[in-house]
Amino acid sequence: MMPKASSDYLPALRFSVLTPFYDPLVALTLRERTFKHELRRQADVEPGHAVLDVGCGTGTLAIWMKQACPAIAMTGIDADPAMLVRAKGKAERIGVDIAFEQGLSSHLPHADRTFDRIVSSLFFHHLARVETEKTIAEMFRVLKPGGLLCVADWGKPTNVLMRLLFWPVQLFDGFSRTQDNVAGLLPQLFRQGGFTEVAVQGSLATVHGSLAFYRAAKLSADGDG
Ligand SMILES: C[S@@+](CC[C@H](N)C(=O)[O-])C[C@H]1O[C@@H](n2cnc3c(N)ncnc32)[C@H](O)[C@@H]1O
């Protein structure tokens, strides 16, 4: 299903007119290099892996993953065509081969058991609960048994300051979409979606609140994570 318009999804900075400012804003305020390389490290990709970045935006994480391990088959999917234009342009300029696709996370256009790894950064807080549940089900479906889901997104604040700093994000992106993040409910939702060995792998303080790292496994056929 092709996304119709931004009524189907929340654009990166809520209003499409702000899209050109996305990359500089994230680089300046979110310790982007630190957290995206940490997420890449946690995903533990190996040559030959098929890797999907859901809500890939302008493609920074996908590009850094492909640069770090050129022998992976990297795919990025996002609902917003304007973000994908930027992602494709960046990948072309840098000279990395990544498949960028347009689509909704709740209806991934991939066959069952396609990917060894699924990664996602700053994405889940853009979804209402029902979309989160559909997205987790889709991620589980397209992940191979034995595969891993690795996520970096807003998490339960680690202290009062982090809680206060997250308020502007909630005002901007919406309280209903962000409440599962701030309540620390993502791990529970991953488990409900069939994932096992769900763990919070750490958090990072930013000027917009606590970023949390999550890791979840799909059991292999013989029962291993
Ligand atoms: C805050 S941006 C994060 C982009 C990128 N992952 C990063 O870390 O910089 C959230 C992205 O999710 C995308 N998005 C929102 N809802 C979506 C959905 N239902 N399906 C696919 N992409 C979606 C938006 O278009 C946007 O590019």
Residue range 163-177, pLDDT digits in tens: 999 889 888 888 888
| pLDDT attached to residue 2 | 47
Q: Domain total for the chain? A: 1
Determine which residue's CA is closest to atom 2 belonging to ligand 1. 12
Q: Does residue 120 sit within a domain?
A: yes
Ligand 1 centroid vs 192 CA: distance in angstroms?
A: 22
- Structural domain of 97: 6-217
Please name which of 184, 104, 165 lies closest in space to residue 138, comparing C-alpha atoms: 104
Testing ligand 1's pocket by substitution, the residue of 51, 78, 129 carrying the most ligand atoms inside 8 A of its CB is 78
Q: Does residue 163 sit within a domain?
A: yes
Q: Does residue 48 sit within a domain?
A: yes
DSSP 20: G
The long-range contacts involving 176-182, CB below 8 angstroms and separated by at least 24 positions, are: 176/128, 176/129, 177/10, 177/125, 177/126, 177/127, 177/128, 178/125, 178/154, 180/124, 180/129, 180/132, 181/124, 181/125, 181/153, 181/154, 181/155, 181/156, 181/212, 182/154, 182/155, 182/156, 182/157
Determine which residue's CA is closest to atom 27 belonging to ligand 1. 57
Residue 201 burial (CB count, 10 A): 15
Q: Does residue 223 sit within a domain?
A: no
- Give helix 160-173 / helix 175-182 axis angle, nearest 10°: 150
Ligand 1 centroid vs 26 CA: distance in angstroms?
A: 13
Atom of ligand 1 nearest to the CA of 105: 20
Q: What would the pLDDT profile of 97-156 be if each residue is shown by its tens digit?
A: 999 999 999 999 999 999 999 999 999 999 999 999 999 999 999 999 999 999 999 999
Would you place residue 5 in the very low, low, confident or very high pLDDT band (cuts 50, 70, 90)?
A: very low
Q: Does residue 1 sit within a domain?
A: no
Ligand 1 centroid vs 194 CA: distance in angstroms?
A: 23
pTM: 0.93
Residues in the chain: 225
The answer to whether the Cα torsion of 111, 84, 100, 27 is positive or negative is: negative
- d(Cα 93, Cα 201) in Å, to the nearest integer? 33
Q: What is the CATH number of the domain that holds 93?
A: 3.40.50.150
Would you place residue 24 in the very low, low, confident or very high pLDDT band (cuts 50, 70, 90)?
A: confident
Q: Does residue 84 sit within a domain?
A: yes
How far the first Cα of the chain sits from its last, in Å, is: 31
Q: What would the pLDDT profile of 79-94 be if each residue is shown by its tens digit?
A: 999 999 999 999 999 9
Atom of ligand 1 nearest to the CA of 106: 19
Atom of ligand 1 nearest to the CA of 131: 19
Ligand 1: which residues within 6 Å by Cβ?
Answer: 9-12, 26, 55-57, 60-61, 78-80, 83, 104-106, 121-123, 126, 131
Greatest distance between any 2 Cα atoms in the chain: 49
Q: Does residue 29 sit within a domain?
A: yes
Of the given ranges (44-48, 173-177, 206-210), which has the lowest mean pLDDT?
173-177
Please name which of 105, 12, 103, 15 lies closest in space to residue 60, comparing C-alpha atoms: 12
Q: Does residue 222 sit within a domain?
A: no
